[in-house]
């Protein structure tokens, strides 16, 4: 009898609800349907570089509904890992661990950055598939990423709760929602929660447009407003400064120029910290209404996955096990309609999916009179 095939699993990047459901989906399908053995690696790519392994066969029960990841995660990159204070290329250590465990394939659960790291390892000779995970929903060529649906529910619930207190105190409440450089979470929760203003990274805003929208509401008798602002949203002036810093970085042709451009971009990003607090103060000054800030932060990533995320993670995970069985590697398992589809990692790696300006959600928000700040 041929020896059982062995697969490894790791979770990389920020955690998100549904990771354990996906680990269970792959693991149970790999073992139950295909007779494989399943090994987990702790703390993302670091666990692979440092061989922090755990046999998962007996650990897959009871995790479907559990938040976080039983494997732990990290943002470490195989080719640039901090080791004893130095940045080291650990690719060959990763390959050694893969070979030592006689893996036939490795499954990496993560977003666009994880796909980029996975592609590097594919080029180093490993058989890899990835599953799209992130609350930001910004992975290209998949209908959805798991984690997003749960975070959307959490952020919507928060906006619902903020409504009653904003209304009672006749205040503006500015609620900051995660999403990195994409506005999916803010737009979705803003629409579902009935925010009066929604500010997205994709649509740089004018603070005067926002204050005018709030004052129009006051004139109609609504002395409160909810402003849902994405963590990556910027004013039109800040967006211009950011664009210039980015294009300087792209244009840099010497190491010195690149270093200077990277430092300038970091300074622009640092200046963005506190943007939501500044926005609330500006709105208070422009409207005369008291303003308060709520930063939802990591509650959006914590806790049990929603039914939608459990379902998505389970079907992507089990489809992933089938692809490995068929010998299909170097792909992300994308959600496509009711089904799934393998998409070459080259088409996913390092890319981001912003909200298109003509997306039906954007149009729907505008049509119900929501101010998008432009």
Q: Are the C-beta atoms of 166 and 118 separated by less than 8 Å?
A: no
The strand ranges marked E within the chain are 6-11, 37-41, 53-55, 81-83, 86-88, 105-110, 128-134, 146-147, 172-177, 197-199, 225-230, 291-295, 331-336, 339-344
136 binds ligand F6P (CB under 6 A): yes
* Window contacting ligand F6P (CB under 6 A); options: 81-89, 117-125, 178-186, 201-209: 178-186
Nearer to ligand F6P (CB atom), residue 147 or residue 342: 147
Nearer to ligand F6P (CB atom), residue 182 or residue 371: 182
**Alpha carbons within 13 A on the beta-carbon side of 311:** 8
Assess whether 153 carries a catalytic annotation: no
Q: What does DSSP say about strands 146-147 and 225-230: parallel, antiparallel, or unpaired?
A: unpaired
Give bridge partners of residue 227 from the DSSP assignment.
174, 197
Catalytic hit among 136, 138, 153, 325 = 136
Integer Cα distance of 366 and 10 in angstroms: 41
73 binds ligand F6P (CB under 6 A): no
The site map against ligand F6P for 224-263 (x = CB under 6 A) is: -------x--------------------------------
135 binds ligand F6P (CB under 6 A): yes
Nearer to ligand F6P (CB atom), residue 235 or residue 300: 300
Integer Cα distance of 151 and 298 in angstroms: 10
Q: Which residues have C-beta within 8 Å of that of residue 221, sequence separation ≥ 6?
A: none
**Length of the chain as a residue count:** 374
The site map against ligand F6P for 74-113 (x = CB under 6 A) is: -x--------------------------------------
Q: Using the rule CB under 6 A, which residue among 8, 14, 78, 201 binds ligand F6P?
A: 14
202 binds ligand F6P (CB under 6 A): no
Q: Using the rule CB under 6 A, which residue among 93, 178, 213, 319 binds ligand F6P?
A: 178
Angle 332-310-28 from CA coordinates, rounded to 5°: 70
Catalytic residues, which ones?
A: 136
Summarize as ranges the residues that interact with ligand F6P (CB under 6 A).
14, 75, 134-136, 178-180, 231, 301
């Amino acid at each position: 009898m041929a020896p059982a095939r062995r697969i490894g699993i790791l979770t990389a990047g920020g955690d998100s609800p549904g990771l354990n459901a996906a680990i269970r989906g792959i693991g149970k399908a790999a073992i139950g349907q295909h007779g494989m053995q399943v090994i987990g690696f702790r703390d993302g790519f670091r666990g692979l570089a440092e061989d922090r392994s755990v046999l998962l066969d007996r650990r897959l029960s009871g995790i479907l509904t559990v938040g976080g990841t039983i494997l732990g995660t990290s943002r470490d990159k195989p080719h640039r890992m901090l080791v004893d204070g130095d940045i080291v290329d650990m690719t060959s250590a990763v390959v050694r661990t893969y070979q030592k465990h006689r893996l036939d394939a490795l499954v990496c659960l993560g977003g666009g950055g994880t796909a980029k790291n996975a592609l590097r390892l594919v080029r180093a000779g490993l058989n890899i598939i990835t599953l799209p995970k992130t609350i930001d929903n910004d992975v290209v060529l998949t209908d959805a990423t798991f984690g997003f649906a749960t975070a959307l529910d959490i952020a919507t619930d928060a906006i619902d709760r903020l409504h009653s207190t904003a209304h009672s105190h006749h205040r503006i409440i500015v609620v900051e929602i995660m999403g990195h450089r994409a506005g999916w979470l803010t737009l979705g929760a803003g629409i579902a929660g009935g925010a009066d203003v929604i500010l997205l990274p994709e649509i740089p805003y004018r603070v005067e447009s926002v204050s005018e929208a709030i004052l129009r509401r006051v004139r109609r008798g609504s002395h409160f407003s909810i402003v849902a602002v994405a963590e990556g949203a910027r004013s039109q002036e800040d967006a211009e400064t950011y664009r210039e810093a980015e294009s300087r970085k792209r244009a840099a042709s010497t190491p010195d120029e690149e270093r200077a451009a990277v430092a300038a971009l970091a300074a622009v990003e640092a200046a963005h910290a506190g943007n939501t607090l500044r926005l609330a103060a500006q709105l208070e000054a422009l409207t005369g209404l008291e303003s308060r800030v709520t930063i939802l932060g990591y509650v959006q990533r914590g806790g049990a996955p929603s039914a939608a995320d459990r379902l998505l993670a389970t079907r992507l995970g089990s489809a992933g096990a089938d692809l490995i069985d068929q010998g299909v590697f170097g792909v992300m398992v994308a959600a496509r309609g009711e089904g799934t589809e393998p998409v070459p990692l080259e088409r996913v790696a390092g890319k981001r999916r912003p909200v298109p300006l003509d997306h039906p959600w954007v149009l729907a928000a505008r049509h119900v009179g929501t101010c998008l700040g432009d």
